Amino acid sequence: MDRLGVVDGFAAARGDYPPLTFCALWVFDELAEALRWGRQSAIKLLTVLFLVGSCLVYWRTALGPAGMKRLALGGALGWSLGLAGVGLGYLDILYTPLLLLLMHYLQSGRMGWPVAVLFWSCALIKWQPLILAPFFLLFFARKFVAGQRVFALQFLGVGALGVLVCWSIFGNALVIAFQRAMSHQFLSGNAINFPWLMTHVLHLTDPGRFGPLDDGLCNYIKVSAWQFRIVPRILFVGFYGWALWRVLEPGLTFERWLRLAVAGYLAYFTFNVGVHENHLFVAAILVLYGASRKIFSAREVLMIVGALNMNLLLFYGFSGNRVEDARVLGDVDLATVAALLWVDWFVVWCVKELFSPKAFGARAGHNERANEKSTEPVLEIAK
């Protein structure tokens, strides 16, 4: 972009990121040049500012009066996302304040065009928020059926307009970047998930084709054959579709919708192929927001945020350099152990969540009890 300009530079980079990330980097690169800073300093400043902004948004939208508890919540978000967002420079931090605001608007019932702008802005910064798009579409479809049609039309209209504007500026480079993001041949891109366990097994069972373990160290592999990708894809579609189907249950609340959206996103991370080590970022933001509203327990937050940071530490440490030797303990790859623990936890948690009584009989029972209570004053008057 420095040599060719923003539009031609985006196309020449041949990356798999959406254009708004490139635009943000270009702006801060120009700022660094004007202030005679180094390029790395500009990127660090960019990530620090967005992390601080995320903490402020989190602090302002948390429940309860302003005080030490809300201040502690903001600090917790900073510590949870600091390694990924600033230490290792993952640019997911750019959409973090937008996603937090989006959740706040949804829960507070302000579902006008700002919600649509926030969601599609997140998606044009990184593609991962698009995994939540079907949950948003069903959320607004329910509003449409209930007579609140303007919200659904705004969501779809703003999305179509945003894509059209980006395409009119960046042309087919936008489509090509999306295709690249969808075409990774990694079975697992250093993510502690089910395909990583498959990677370990393939190293053991077919070392002639995929190479043996390197003194116990498991390295990622690229495979395009459907035979190796079909099982994780089926598991992903099964769990994701199950969570999406639960969104259709009657009497859906925002709290229930958010838990189902997190379940669907975690199904993507746990089972889909081509997932990378930082893709838990979206789920971490959602559960941190939910924790401030008592939608997620502290145990759930610690597990998901801990898995994000553990995944990054196992592969890149605190410096960003690969830490392969430190990952092997007694010929055992700790990343494989972490992947096994994560998959076990997710399957148990997800099945319990999707079979939760909240989805089936509890609401009916609650309504029956409410009706019984509502008749008590009438009976007393009759007596």
Q: Which two tokens stand for residue 215?
A: 């003194």
pLDDT at position 59 over 60: yes
Whether 124 has a pLDDT exceeding 70, the answer reads: yes
pLDDT, average across residues 66-86 = 78
Instruction: Give the pLDDT band (50/70/90) at residue 14.
Output: confident
pLDDT of residue 64: 54
Q: What is the pLDDT of residues 241-280, one digit of tens each?
A: 999 999 998 888 999 999 999 999 999 999 999 999 999 9
Q: Note the pLDDT of residue 67.
A: 56
Q: Cα–Cα distance between 260 and 300 in angstroms, integer? A: 14
- Give 171-225 pLDDT, tens digit per residue: 999 999 999 988 888 999 999 999 999 999 999 999 988 899 888 889 989 888 8
Tokens, residue 294: 């008592």
Whole-number percent of the chain with pLDDT over 90: 54
* Residues comprising the chain, all counted: 383
The mean pLDDT of 141-164, rounded to a whole number, is 87
CA distances from 76 to 27, 55, 278 (A): 29, 9, 19
The dihedrals phi and psi of 189, each to the nearest 5 degrees, come to: -85, 60
370 pLDDT band, cuts 50/70/90, is very low
DSSP 345-358: HHHHHHHHHHT-GG
* CA distances for 178 relative to 123, 131, 181, 266, 272, angstroms: 11, 13, 5, 21, 17
**What local confidence, expressed as pLDDT, does residue 70 receive?**
64
- Going by pLDDT thresholds of 50, 70 and 90, the confidence category of residue 383 is very low
User: Would you call 381 helix, strand, or coil by DSSP?
Assistant: helix
Positive or negative: CA dihedral 178, 179, 184, 188: positive
